[in-house]
């Protein structure tokens, strides 16, 4: 697919809009299936490769209405089953098709208070859109109804009008809940628990809120202003935040309950411990974990050289090792920070890449070069300990491994060298061991992820966990889904406690 300017998309859509306007009730399924997918308008690749502004521009009202009219309103609603937080997708899309946008937002927010975030970064193509009947009818998930784009449109429409509603909070119960981490899982737990009238405090180790949404996802994909506005709704609900607070160091986890009086704790600390390849040369100057690189650029705003003092390595030729969304973010950020050439080195083929197809497409449009069936063998340095190149190996695909993807097999004698000055390792993250080290009774698996039951409860009474600290590095929406389950369990626990206390009071 080649880049299509926004004005071209709009012109084509307006013709369809004029044809279907006011005809929603009379459109048959065969008519809806004839409506082509409305592409997401985006900045010109040559322009956006040199700025941090959001790549995707977003739908106009007419574009959103046309896309919403593609939904068949299936009675079986398979898209809801594909959504980790179970948004009523057909209902909110129908409201957009009818130009009842506020009602659409209200429906979304019954299940999620972060629609502007999810609409931007969730991999809908492997979740709700994967089960869409329109996509199945066309035998192409890319032609499914663009659920994520419509969710984003509705959320942006509400925000741009200054009409964001604050959810209703039930009367105070006197119960206190501590949330450790302000990433997607923690924010969802905070919102759902606060709605029930419980006192909620979020403890965040960084000086800014948002977790991975702040430090890990670049502004060209998820603007910080969007994160701030979504979080501001939680503040208006009465949720309290404490930044620069490292649970496990500033305060022991168990002290939150024993000394500070919290009735339950949710751990949503994420997976922020970088994983390296363990090859020669990874300690050279010019080698970074993607975690550090993106944190410097995003959270510490190294890209804003006029206003931020955060140092960032000046690179000319960059190799990013990995094939996920973090690798795409790192490569595209390196380009925006001034690199002349950026390579993505991946040991399988493009088919096996876990990154979203949209992110890969955007990277290619911006000039990122992809080297498939290759991987680093060792990183080469000069006498000053700085990166000057990388020795690589070529691979071929063998039989599928445990992930279901074909296993990459080294081609013997295939070594070759690439000249470069920077290597970014983006092969995954592990769990930060700080909390589990300070609470020995907290059970973890061999990867350091907290072990929980079906209700997200840990091995320690009244302590729940969810998101990447349980799943390993996953997605924003999967973390949110875990948060919803944990919140339901915490609310159930506290409701029982309140009832028990009432009965004790009556009987005393």
Taking CA atoms, 312 is separated from 285, 298, 326, 352, in Å, by 12, 11, 18, 31
Instruction: Give residue 438's pLDDT.
Output: 86
The closest alpha carbon to 176, from 453, 461, 485, 493, belongs to: 493
pLDDT digits (tens, 9 = 90+) for 475-500: 888 999 999 999 999 999 999 999 99
- What's the CA gap between 75 and 83, in Å, rounded? 16
Residue with tokens 């697919």: 1
- Which top CATH class is 176-272+430-507? alpha beta
Helix 89-97 / helix 61-68 crossing angle, nearest 10 deg: 130
Residue 331's φ and ψ, nearest 5 degrees, are: -65, -45
The arithmetic mean of pLDDT across residues 396-410, rounded, is 90
Best mean pLDDT range from 196-205, 244-253, 307-316, 437-446: 196-205
Residue 139: per-residue pLDDT: 96
SS3 (DSSP) at 92:
helix
Tell me the CB-side half-sphere exposure of residue 329, using CA atoms within 13 A. Answer: 29
pLDDT at residue 434 greater than cutoff 90:
no
Q: pLDDT band at residue 1, thresholds of 50, 70 and 90?
A: low
Beta strands, E only, 367-466: 369-372, 374-381, 387-400, 406-410, 416-419, 422-425, 429-430, 463-465
CA dist 300 to 43, 253, 292, 297, 330, Å?
25, 27, 10, 6, 15
Whole-angstrom Cα distance, residue 262 to residue 234? 19
- Distance, CA of 350 to CA of 274 (rounded, Å): 24
Residue-wise DSSP of 207-269? SSS-THHHHTS-TTTS-HHHHHHHHHHHHHTT-EEE-S--BTTTB-HHHHHHTT--SEEEE--
**CATH level 3 topology of 276-427:** FAD/NAD(P)-binding domain (3.50.50)
The average pLDDT across 167-175 equals: 96
- How distant is the alpha carbon of residue 39 from its chain centre? 21
Taking only the tens place, the pLDDT of each residue in 23-39 is 999 999 999 999 999 99
Which band of pLDDT confidence, cut at 50, 70 and 90, is reported for residue 272?
confident
Q: What is the pLDDT of residue 506?
A: 86
- Helix H or strand E encompassing 488: helix 476-507
pLDDT in tens, 344-382: 999 999 999 999 999 999 999 999 999 999 999 999 999
| Mean per-residue pLDDT of the chain | 95
Q: Which of 381, 386, 384, 389 is CA-nearest to residue 319?
A: 389
Distances (CA, A) of 321 to 70, 177, 281, 377, 421: 39, 40, 14, 11, 14
Span 191-247, pLDDT tens digits: 999 999 999 999 999 999 999 999 999 999 999 999 999 999 999 999 999 999 999
Sort residue 385 into left (φ over 0), alpha (ψ -120 to 50) or beta.
left
- For the stretch 122-152, pLDDT in tens is 999 999 999 999 999 999 999 999 999 999 9
User: Residue written as tokens 């369809």?
Assistant: 16
Helix (H) or strand (E) holding 6: helix 6-20
What pLDDT was estimated at residue 437?
Answer: 86
Same fold, 6-160 and 276-427: no
* Mean pLDDT computed over 260-289: 95
Question: What would the pLDDT profile of 286-304 be if each residue is shown by its tens digit?
Answer: 999 999 999 999 988 888 7
Instruction: Give percent of the chain above pLDDT 90.
Output: 87
**Residue owning tokens 């890990």:** 216
Task: Note whether 312 and 417 are within 8 A (CB).
Answer: no
Length of the chain: 508
- According to the model, what pLDDT value does residue 299 have? 87
Ranges assigned E (strand) in 290-421: 317-321, 341-346, 369-372, 374-381, 387-400, 406-410, 416-419
Instruction: Locate the domains of the chain by residue range.
Output: 6-160, 176-272+430-507, 276-427
Report the predicted TM-score, pTM, of the whole model to 2 decimal places: 0.93
Task: List phi, psi (to 5°) of 489.
Answer: -70, -40
Q: Could you confirm whether domain 6-160 is CATH 1.10.10.10?
A: no
């Amino acid at each position: 697919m080649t880049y299509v300017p926004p004005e071209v998309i709009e012109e084509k859509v307006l013709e369809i809009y004029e044809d279907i306007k006011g005809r929603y009730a009379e459109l048959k399924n065969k008519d809806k299936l004839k409506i082509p997918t409305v592409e997401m308008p985006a900045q010109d690749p040559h322009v956006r490769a040199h700025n941090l502004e959001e790549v995707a521009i977003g739908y106009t009202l007419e574009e959103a209405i046309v896309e919403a009219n593609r939904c068949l309103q299936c009675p079986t609603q398979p898209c809801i089953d594909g959504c980790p937080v179970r948004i009523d997708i057909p209902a909110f899309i129908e409201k957009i098709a009818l130009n009842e946008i506020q009602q659409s937002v209200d429906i979304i927010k019954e299940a999620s208070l972060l629609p502007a975030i999810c609409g931007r970064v969730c991999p809908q193509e492997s979740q709700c859109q994967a089960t869409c009947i329109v996509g199945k009818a066309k035998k192409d998930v890319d032609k499914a109804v663009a659920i994520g784009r419509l969710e984003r449109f509705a959320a942006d429409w509400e925000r741009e009008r200054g009409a964001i509603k604050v959810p209703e909070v039930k009367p105070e119960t006197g119960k206190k809940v501590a949330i450790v981490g302000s990433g997607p899982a923690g924010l969802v737990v905070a919102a759902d628990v606060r709605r029930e009238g419980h006192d909620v405090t979020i403890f965040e180790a960084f000086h800014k809120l948002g977790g991975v949404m702040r430090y890990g996802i670049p502004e060209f994909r998820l603007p910080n202003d969007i994160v701030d506005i979504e979080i501001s709704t939680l503040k208006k609900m009465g949720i309290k935040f404490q930044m620069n607070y490292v649970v496990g160091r500033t305060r022991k986890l168990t002290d939150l309950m024993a000394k500070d009086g919290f009735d339950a704790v949710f751990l949503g600390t994420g997976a922020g411990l970088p994983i390296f390849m363990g090859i020669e040369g990874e300690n050279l100057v010019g080698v970074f974990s993607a975690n550090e690189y993106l944190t410097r650029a995003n959270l510490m705003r190294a890209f804003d050289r006029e206003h931020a003092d955060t140092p960032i390595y000046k690179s000319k030729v960059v190799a990013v090792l990995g094939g996920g969304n973090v690798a795409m973010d790192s490569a595209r950020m390196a380009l925006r920070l001034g690199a002349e050439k950026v390579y993505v080195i991946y040991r399988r083929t493009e088919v096996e890449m876990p990154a979203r197809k949209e992110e890969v497409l955007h990277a290619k449009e911006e000039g990122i070069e992809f080297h498939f069936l290759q991987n680093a063998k060792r990183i080469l340095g000069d006498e000053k300990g700085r990166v000057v190149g990388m020795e690589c190996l070529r691979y071929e695909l063998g039989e599928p491994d445990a992930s279901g993807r074909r296993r990459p097999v080294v081609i013997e004698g295939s070594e070759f060298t690439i000249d470069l000055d920077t290597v970014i390792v983006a092969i995954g993250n592990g769990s930060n061991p700080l909390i589990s080290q300070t609470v020995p009774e907290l059970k973890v698996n061999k990867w350091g992820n907290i072990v929980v039951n079906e209700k997200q409860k840990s091995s320690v009474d009244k302590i729940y966990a969810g998101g990447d600290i349980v799943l390993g590095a996953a997605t924003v929406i999967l973390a949110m889904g875990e948060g919803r389950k944990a919140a339901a369990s915490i609310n159930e626990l506290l409701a029982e406690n309140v009832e028990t206390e009432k009965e004790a009071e009556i009987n005393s």
